Amino acid sequence: MTPDQVKAIQDSFKLVAPISEQAAALFYGRLFEIAPDVKPLFRGDMTEQGRKLMAMLGVVVNSIDKLEAILPAASALAKRHVDYGVKAEDYTPVGRCAAVDAAAGARQGVDAGSRASVGRRLCAPVRLHDRRGL
């Protein structure tokens, strides 16, 4: 990842952080819209799940220049997801959900497509590593 890409990711997340609850709700709304079959995997409080998502993204964003340091934790998380019934193919729609970036773009008047592209670049290495854990 180039320094410009790292900066774009970190800048994008700074836009999302103040609206993290709404961004997480948009993300899960979009996920359940494009992949309704994954909704039963989420049995708990979705507000709390959204907080967990945003906290995890914060860790990834803050460690973007040293991803190899957090990949073992990402792998452990993926293995826990197996216990919840997640399958490798369930990660595909997650990668397509760029509502978090779109929310930031809409809030700041930034092109949502550009933000979505940044989000996909951010999630790709973690998603690939997670899939290996499955």
Of 2.40.50.140, 3.40.1280.10, 3.30.365.10, 1.10.490.10, the CATH number of 3-133 is: 1.10.490.10
In tens, the pLDDT along 4-51 reads 888 888 888 888 888 889 888 888 988 899 899 999 999 899 999 999
Quick check: 8 and 118 in contact, CB under 8 A? yes
The residues spanned by each domain of the chain are: 3-133
What pTM value is reported for the model? Answer: 0.71
Distances (CA, A) of 40 to 74, 84, 104: 22, 10, 28
Quick check: 74 and 132 in contact, CB under 8 A? no
The pair of structure tokens assigned to 14 is 């700074």
